[in-house]
Amino acid sequence: MESWVRAVVEAIHSSRSQAVIYLAGGASQALGWLLSVPGASSTVLEVVVPYSRASMAQLLGKIPLQFTSKQAAEDMALAAYNRALKLSVPGLQVMGVGFTGSLASSRPKHGDHRFYVSTWTHNCRRTSHVTLSKGLRSREEEDKVSSCFLLKAIADTCRVSATIQSDIQEPEIPEENVEQFDEDQELQQVINGQVCMKVYHFAAPVKKDFNRKVILPGSFNPLHDGHLRLLDVASSMCDDGLPFFEISAINADKPPLSIAEIKRRVDQFRRAGKNVIISNQPYFYKKAELFPGSAFIIGADTAARLVNPKYYGGDYNRMLEILLECKSTGTTFLVGGRMIEGVFKVLEDLDIPEELRDMFISIPEEKFRMDISSTELRKNQGL
């Protein structure tokens, strides 16, 4: 490995950024560079090479109009970004990387030798396009040029200073496009289902590395002291989890929240200095896919609904199948006591199927009890 390549890769691995990389048609040497330098497991979450037509269609959920194109690279970067959001360690910068190329092959090509590299983060999409001079290089040499550009794209997204020695000739100067997203655009992407979540980090940074998230879902309209204390108590029971509140912009039986309303609710967490995630998944089995391995904080009333076949079309086996799938992702539920039909009930009062019992953990009443809800607070405030 050339010394400049090693220096760039070491800087990337030290940047506290994590990436999912989807590539096809070139830049294969970049993967070797990234994975052969110590620290790769801190940066590279997943690599997929969708080389076949069927593989690319499955990855993107559609067949691209043109496989080697700006649109295909950006679609790959977006898919990789959504995947990275699900796999990343809490608190680190996340990116999706897409690469698609048409380089020299065993048979002469009628079209240009070219490649596209795109990176996607929460607030920026960068795409580069290079058309190579035909006949100037071998396949291996073209692969090295594209690998250099892929490495530079990742380094730039990690905000790492990188001097890339790519052997580019004057006619091959890359075309670059950068699109910045503001907060409203980011939230609209979540509402539209384009991006699976937006994460707000308002809590003071913690040096400790966390393996999972501890999530308190809700509408938080308004956020009150009971919510804050419940998350603190539950987090103390999961010391390997970083605490988050979570609001779904999409409701199961109501219109989506407006951007203005989401920002109003988010501002409560900004003032409280607490992390919050805006997602687009109202159902817990979908949240489990979105946040694999997480501990969800719920009330006994929600726990009762989770194991009630009534909410699964009356099918007990369907309920069991869905929750066992959640269990397979490492999902657990921390259950706090709640008033149910005028009676305060805790986890131990519920009939949890034996196959699911180790998913549910009781928050002792002596550690936390608050009977008032956001709905009651709004009524009391005349809202």
> Range with the lowest mean pLDDT among 87-91, 145-149, 151-155, 226-230?
87-91
Task: Decide: residue 335, CB within 10 A, 0-12 exposed, 13-18 middle, 19+ buried.
Answer: buried
Band (pLDDT 50/70/90 cuts) for residue 383 is low
Query: Could you give the CA distance from residue 300 to residue 362 in angstroms, rounded to a whole number?
Result: 9
Query: Could you give the CA distance from residue 115 to residue 125 in angstroms, rounded to a whole number?
Result: 17
| % of the chain at pLDDT higher than 70 | 97
Q: Kindly state the helix (H) or strand (E) to which residue 97 belongs, with its residue range.
A: strand 93-102
Calculate ∠ Cα 46-164-159, nearest 5°.
Answer: 60
CA distances from 145 to 6, 44, 345 (A): 16, 21, 64
Core vs surface per residue 346-357: b (16+ CB within 10 A) or e: bbeebebeeebe
Asked whether 98 and 74 are in contact (CB, 8 A), the reply is yes
List the beta bridge partners of residue 22.
48, 98
Domains parsed from the chain with CATH numbers? 3-180 (3.90.950.20), 184-381 (3.40.50.620)
**Residue carrying structure tokens 């999912």:** 20
Q: What is the pLDDT of residues 161-215, one digit of tens each?
A: 877 777 888 788 899 999 999 999 999 999 999 999 999 999 998 888 888 999 9
What does the DSSP 8-state code read for residue 63? Answer: -
User: Cα dihedral sign for 11, 14, 19, 24?
Assistant: positive
pTM above 0.85, yes or no: yes
> Range with the lowest mean pLDDT among 20-29, 66-75, 114-123, 332-341?
332-341
Q: What is the pLDDT of residues 304-356, one digit of tens each?
A: 999 999 999 999 999 999 999 999 999 999 999 998 888 999 999 999 999 99
